[in-house]
Structures are given as structure tokens and as C-alpha cells.
Amino acid sequence: MRSVQEALQEILTAFKVNTAEYVPLLEALGRTLAGQVIAKNDLPLFDNSSMDGYAVRAEDLVTVPSTLQVVADIPAGTAPNVEIGAGQAARIMTGAAIPPGADTVVPVEDVREADSSAEVKILKRGKKGDFIRPRGEDVKTGEALLAAGHVLRPQDLGLLAGLGISRVLVIKKPRVAVFSTGDELLMPDDPIVPGKIRDMNSFTIPAMVMSLGAEPIFLGVARDTVESVREKLLLAVEQGVDLILSSAGVSVGTHDVVKSVMESLGTIGFWRVNIRPGKPLAYGNVKGIPFIGLPGNPVSSLVTFEVFVRPAILKMLGQPTEAREIEVMVGEHMVSDGRESYIRVILRRGDGGRLIAFSTGTQSSGAISSLVKADALLVIPVGVTVVNQGDFLKARPFAGIGL
Ligand code: AMP
Ligand code: MG
């Protein structure tokens, strides 16, 4: 049986970074940059006023109050061509370009506007550069701003727009085929039938794929027969996907057919990992396409997705594959069977701000509420069977809309 680390390494070797494509700016949200972004212009593009007020020469602000002659009116969006001389001022709006000759802005709050708009009385002293946003203050031409592998956020799109970039080179979304298996599965709208259950994995697994910025291709539910599973796998191959995910049918029950279908269509790397929840986990390839057969229990399939599938997808996206881990204090006695265990925990702040982990309750691999209530997965290392209140362990906090 593979350790978690061995299994993860074996899976990761099957993946490389996807190729890139240009997409319109707004569609680049959440996508991964394929190359670094270098500023091809300054921001701001020109010296401009940060206030509504008067553009003047600093030397006219030394002795106040003083009356200056207003020689121009500069709204935002215009290019001033009047030179401001000694004793002169230009009425200027926020964001408007500083006219030649002026080197300072006096906010409108610090002047008295005369009845005649040809004059303004300066009430407050000022110094050179006041209320001017100089060209290049924000971003300088040639500056490297965003690196390859960066996931684009709204503020990044703002920067790109400001730099005149309307199409962005991003990594192509990994395409991930997903199907559930099981004769017991009903859709949420189906009436309840004795012995049957509602299919959760057909929603959780595509949602996890989407939350990482990949594209799920949902193939529906296979019955627990060799023919049905085979048909889904061949459908996935036909779609030319980067990865195939199934759930359930990978343990040792008589109806667990995934393993034998894999053997006939491709190769099996392994089908058990020393992890809890999620020991039955099949990995191999189907006609050359990586295939991961996740366990059927909803919590097991999500936890093993988190541990094994997420890094594979991140690798295709050119992002770091390491999980973010924090150290937390264990808040209560917990037990494990010695497998590397991923306990669903709530994190609370204790005295001094330290994070303390408490079990969400039942840790049954079928209990979806254990994940719904959780803030993190607490990792009990392999070989450890008891942890006590006050012990320190690593936890993987959930972030964003994924686990
Ligand atoms: P299996 O690996 O097929 O033995 O499934 C393990 C457990 O997970 C069984 O209790 C199944 O009923 C349950 N299960 C399998 N697939 C799903 C699914 N898509 N949604 C919810 N539970 C499932
Ligand atoms: Mg089954």
C-alpha cells in the first residue's frame, strides 16, 4: 500500500503544465498567468491633480493670503497647453493633467473663490508637489509586476487595463472528465426510493474542479457494471480530457468494477493508499489519460480530491502544488487507526490568539456535515494513533470556495 507521499509523487509525475491561450481581460479572472507582466507605460501616465483646486507655482504659496489670476480651467480628460506664470493659477479637477509651469495644487477648501472667476484668493501656505500625483508614482515603465503562475484577481485586471492590455495570456483550463458510479444513486429531484440515496459526488467533485479554475466535463452516472463504467471511460477518452475522475466502485465489493475495467483499458498504478478517509483510491491511466478512481463516500472523495487531485490540477495550471498548512493546537483527545488521517475540525482562537482544533463531530467518511462544519483538515501523521489536548499538529485551512 502506498504512503500518501508516494502516491502523490507518482500521480504528479503524470502531469505537466498546460499550454497557454489569450483571453479577453474580464474572462481572465481566476485564470493563471502564463508569462510575467511588464509595465509598458507609467502609471499615472502624467502628473495630475489629486484634488479639485488650483494649479499654481509653489513660490506663490509662501506669503498668504495672496490673490492669483486664474488663466485656465482644466477639467479631467483635457491636455492643458497654457503655461502658468508667476502670480497665476489654473482651476483644475481631480485627475486632470498639471499644466506646464505649475508645480503644486491648492485644494479648493484652502482658497476663497472671488466673485469674478478671473481671480482666486489663496488662504493657506503650501509646498512644492502638494496634491500632485507624479507620473510613474504607481508603476514605472519596465517594472515586472505579476509573475507567471499568478492567479488573476479583480485588482490585477485593473492594473492590466491601466497598462493597455486587453487580452491576457493564461494557462488553458485543465479539462477534467467526472462521473459517479453506483446503482443506488438518485438525483436531487428524484423521489426517494427505498434503498437508494441521493448522489452527492456528482456535485461536489465537479464543484471542486471548478473552484480550482479547471473545467469539469460531467459524464453522468455509470451503473455498477463493467459495460457501463467502460462506456463512461471511453466517452472521457473521446473528449480528449487531461484527467478522468470517477467516484465509488473502487473497493473490494463484488460490484466494485472500476479496477477491472481499468485493467482492460489501460494500466493501474495503485488502488490503495494509506490514508483515512479514502483508503480505496485507484490511480492509473486509460488509453494514456491519467485516471483517478476516487472512493464513493462523499467525505472520502473530497478529502482524497484535496490531497491528490488538487495538486495534479495545480500542476497543469502552473501553480505551486504544495498544500498550505498551519500549526494548530489540538483541543481534545482524538484517535486514529495509524493511517495518515485527515480529521475535519473547527478552528477557534484560544488565549493569545492561538488556533485550537476541535472535531466537527462524527468523523464517518459518509458524514458530509463533518466537512460542511469544518474550517480545516487536521492531519494526524501516519503511525500516530492517539493525540491529546495540547498537542500541536499541522492543519490545512479551507480557503475560497474549494474545501
Ligand atoms: P462504494 O465505493 O461504491 O462501495 O461506495 C462507498 C459508499 O459511498 C457507499 O455507501 C455508497 O452508497 C456511497 N456513494 C457512492 N457514490 C456516491 C455518490 N455519488 N454520492 C453519495 N454517496 C455515494
Ligand atoms: Mg458502489
Query: Taken in order 75, 81, 82, 83, is the CA torsion positive or negative?
Result: positive
**CB of residue 302 inside a 6 A radius of ligand 1:** no
Say yes or no to pLDDT of 254 above 90.
Answer: no
Q: Read off the pLDDT band of 256 (50, 70, 90).
A: confident
Q: How confident is the model at residue 366 (pLDDT cuts 50, 70, 90)?
A: very high
Question: Who contacts 189 (Cβ-Cβ below 8 Å, separation ≥6)?
Answer: none
Tell whether ligand 1 has an atom less than 6 A from the beta carbon of residue 386. Answer: no
Which residue owns the Cα nearest ligand 1 atom 6?
296
Indicate the residue type of 151.
V
53-89 residue pLDDT tens: 999 999 999 999 999 999 999 999 999 999 999 999 9
- Would you say the CB of residue 200 lies under 6 angstroms from ligand 1? yes
Question: pLDDT per residue over 167-177, tens digit each?
Answer: 999 999 999 99
pTM to 2 decimal places = 0.93
Q: Is the CB of 184 under 6 A from ligand 1?
A: yes
- Which atom of ligand 1 is nearest to 180's Cα? 19
Ligand 1 centre distance from Cα of residue 207 (Å): 17
* Helices first, then strands: H and E counts in the chain: 8, 28
When pLDDT is averaged across residues 3-26 and rounded to a whole number, the result is 98
Q: Say what the pLDDT of residue 400 is.
A: 84
Has residue 253 got a pLDDT over 90?
Answer: no
- Cis peptide leading into residue 290 (ω within 30°): no
Give the model's confidence band at 252: pLDDT under 50 very low, under 70 low, under 90 confident, else very high: confident
Cα 147 from chain centre? 15
Is 295 touching ligand 1 by the criterion CB < 6 Å?
yes
For the CA of 201, the closest atom of ligand 1 is 19
Which-ligand-closest: CA of 197? Answer: 1
Integer angstrom CA distances of residue 214 from 15, 127, 148, 272: 14, 54, 17, 26
Mean pLDDT of the chain: 97
- Residue 114 predicted with pLDDT over 90: no
Tell whether ligand 1 has an atom less than 6 A from the beta carbon of residue 300. Answer: no
Q: What is the pLDDT of residues 259-292, one digit of tens each?
A: 999 999 999 999 999 999 998 999 999 999 999 9
**Per-residue pLDDT at 237 exceeds 90:** yes
117-146: per-residue pLDDT in tens? 899 999 999 999 999 999 999 999 999 999
The confidence band for 31, taking pLDDT boundaries of 50, 70 and 90, is very high
**Residue for cell digits 485550537?**
356
Band (182; pLDDT cuts 50, 70, 90): very high
Q: pLDDT (tens digit, 9 = 90+) per residue, 298-331?
A: 999 999 999 999 999 999 999 999 999 999 999 9
Give yes or no for residue 220 CB within 6 A of ligand 1.
no
392 CA → ligand 1 middle, Å = 33
Average pLDDT over residues 181-207: 98
The CB of 258 under 6 Å from ligand 1? The reply is no
Taking residue 243's Cβ as centre, other Cβ atoms within 10 Å add up to 23
